[in-house]
Amino acid sequence: MQDRGYAFFNHTADIGIRAEASTLEELFIRMAQGLTELLVEDSPLQPREARSIELTADDAASLLLKWLQELLFWFATERFAPIRYVLTEVTPTSLRGTVRGERFDPARHQQGREVKAITRHLLRAEPCEDGWVGEVIVDI
Report, in Å, the least distance between residue 127 CB and other proteins. Answer: 20
Nearest Cα to Cα of residue 41 among 102, 118, 108, 113: 113
The yes or no reply on residue 139 touching other proteins (CB under 8 A) is yes
CA angle centred on 117, ends 112 and 120, rounded to 5° = 130
The yes or no reply on residue 116 touching other proteins (CB under 8 A) is yes
Could you give the C-alpha distances from 114 to 20, 64, 65, 81, 118, in angstroms and in order? 25, 20, 18, 13, 12
Separation of alpha carbons 81 and 20, rounded Å? 22
Interface residue with other proteins, options 2, 3, 106, 129 (CB under 8 A): 106
**By C-beta, is 22 or 120 nearer to other proteins?**
120
The yes or no reply on residue 8 touching other proteins (CB under 8 A) is yes
Report, in Å, the least distance between residue 25 CB and other proteins. Answer: 25
Number of residues that bind other proteins (CB under 8 A): 32
Q: How far apart are the first and last CA of the chain?
A: 23
Burial bucket for residue 5 (CB in 10 Å: 0-12, 13-18, 19+): middle
Binding mask of the shown chain, residues 66 to 105, with x at each position contacting other proteins by CB under 8 A: ---x---x--xx-x------------------------x-
Binding residues (CB under 8 A) for other proteins: these are: 8-16, 39, 41, 69, 73, 76-77, 79, 104, 106, 110-114, 116-121, 137, 139-140
